[in-house]
Structure formats: structure tokens, C-alpha cells
Amino acid sequence: MIPLTDEEKAVYEWQLWVRGFGEDGQTRLKNASALVSRVGGLGGPVALELAAAGIGRLVLAHGGDLRPSDLNRQVLMTHDWIGKPRIESAVQRLKAFNPRLEIEALPENISDANADALVAGVDIVFDCAPLFQERFAMNRACVAHRKPLVDAAMFEMEGQVTLIIPGETPCLACIYPESPPGWKRQFPVFGAVPCLAAAIAVMEGIKLLSGMGPSLAGKMLYYDTRTMRMRTLPLARRRDCAVCGET
Ligand SMILES: [Zn+2]
């Protein structure tokens, strides 16, 4: 593993004091890579906090151009970038924030066509896509390549996060055998709601990559910012799951 530089020790000083993390955890994070699918309301703060924590390499996939209606929640975007590719705005913001970060950016969303190659090249995956076809493609690729997957989602004032460890925990297809009916790309949401899911997802990733526990593996954390209730429930694996089941 590549050791920390003096500059990195200075930048990450405050988190090096965290019990159970230290220089060993920081070095592991520096030598780790993560794929973030979409860098919008959820994936944007995920990428930003991974960059802040000092992950070594990020692979980002997000298609399309920035629209005015993205700007209530997509914190890596800037107003002057409306009409231009979202991924470019995200890369500029992340590079300005952490110039040490290595970024590979793809101007398209996750699909069955690109998921395998992208997942194979990283240590952990953060699924921040709103559409189930993208989430299912990512889940299939993570199970095939045995890569940990942090799956985060939100709707209106609620959110949920789980950590999927292929072969050990339920996969996304165990939780959702098919797309919930009526689900679409556009839905009511405040930007702070996905930010909360993103923060929880990133802490799961940091703990996994640096060897700290316990985690949300096999459990779903649900929160509702309308009532400010948070609960964590166990998830069950489906023996007949089409993706991870025993055949
Ligand atoms: Zn499964």
C-alpha cells in the first residue's frame, strides 16, 4: 500500500484521531477505490464526503445535462453549468475540493452494458441511482464480482440505506424481486433528505474499507425526517433469488 504523505497527514489530522481508524485506516482509504452511480442528490454528497475522507480513486457515472430543477439537491452542480453535462460540473467541484483525488468519469448512467466493467475495477460500489433498472444492473454486477454494495435510496422525506455483501447478506433482488409499480425518476424530495442517506452510506463505506465495524450488512436503516424516526430492521435472503440464490 502507498503510505500517507505529510500533506495527507495534515489534511486528515482530525479524523486520524477517531478511535479504531488512525493512520492505518487512512492508508487503507487512500489505497481504495469506489464507484458511485450518479452524482445527483444522493451520489453528489456521497462523492463529496468520500473525497473529503481521502479515498484514493473515484469512478463516477452520470449521464445528461444539468437542469434548473436539479439545483434543489445536486450539491456538486453549479448554477452556471445549466445545459452542460452534469458529470463535468461534478468532476470540477471534486477536483477543486480535493486535488489529490483520482477521478474517472463516465458521462452515462449505469446499465447492463457498462456495469460489469465498472464494478470489476473498484473495491466498493455506492448505488445512488433513482431507477430500479440501474440499481438492478448494479446489483447483478456486484453479486457476479463479489463486490460490496452500499445501496441508498430516498423518497419525499424518507430514506433508507443497506450494505450488501454478496454471498453473505441479502442482495437488492432479495429485497425487491421486481421494480415497485409506479416508480419513476421524478419524485418529491428536499435536498437534505438524500444528504442524510449519503452521509450514512459514506460512513458504512469508510468503516468497511478501513476495517471498522459493526455495519448495516444484512440490515436496512430507515429514516423519516417528517417524524424524525429512525429504525434498523433485519433483511432476509431469498433462497430462490434470481440473482444471488442457490441454483
Ligand atoms: Zn438476492
Cβ partners under 8 Å of residue 42, min gap 6:
128, 152, 153, 154, 194, 197, 198, 201
Q: Is the pLDDT of residue 111 over 70?
A: yes
- Give yes or no for a contact between 94 and 47, defined as CB atoms under 8 angstroms apart: yes
Q: Is the pLDDT of residue 134 over 70?
A: yes
Residue 70 CA to ligand 1 centre (angstroms) = 32
Q: How many domains does the chain have?
A: 1
CA–CA separation, 205 vs 28, rounded Å? 12
Residue 51 CA to ligand 1 centre (angstroms) = 30
CA–CA separation, 9 vs 15, rounded Å? 10
- For residue 17, how many other CB atoms are within 10 A of its CB? 9
The average confidence (pLDDT) of the chain is 96
Kindly state whether residue 240 falls inside one of the protein's structural domains. no
Encode 11-63 in three state secondary structure. HCHHHHCCCCCHHHHHHHHHCCEEEEECCCCCHHHHHHHHHHHCCCEEEEECC
Residue 143 CA to ligand 1 centre (angstroms) = 8
Kindly state whether residue 220 falls inside one of the protein's structural domains. yes
CA–CA separation, 142 vs 83, rounded Å? 33
Kindly state whether residue 164 falls inside one of the protein's structural domains. yes
Q: Which three cell numbers stand for residue 230?
A: 429512525
Q: What is the pLDDT of residue 57?
A: 98
Residue 153 CA to ligand 1 centre (angstroms) = 18
Q: What is the pLDDT of residues 195-222, one digit of tens each?
A: 999 999 999 999 999 999 999 999 999 9
Residue 237 CA to ligand 1 centre (angstroms) = 6
Kindly state whether residue 5 falls inside one of the protein's structural domains. no
Kindly state whether residue 133 falls inside one of the protein's structural domains. yes
Residue 173 CA to ligand 1 centre (angstroms) = 5
Q: pTM value? A: 0.97
Q: What is the pLDDT of residue 181?
A: 81
Mean pLDDT along residues 152-161 = 95
Kindly state whether residue 18 falls inside one of the protein's structural domains. no
Q: Which residues pair with 47 in a beta bridge?
A: none
pLDDT bucket at 247, cuts 50 / 70 / 90: low
Kindly state whether residue 128 falls inside one of the protein's structural domains. yes
Residue 208 CA to ligand 1 centre (angstroms) = 20
Q: What is the CATH number of the domain that holds 200?
A: 3.40.50.720
Note down the domain range covering 98: 32-234
Q: Is the pLDDT of residue 15 over 90?
A: yes
Kindly state whether residue 168 falls inside one of the protein's structural domains. yes
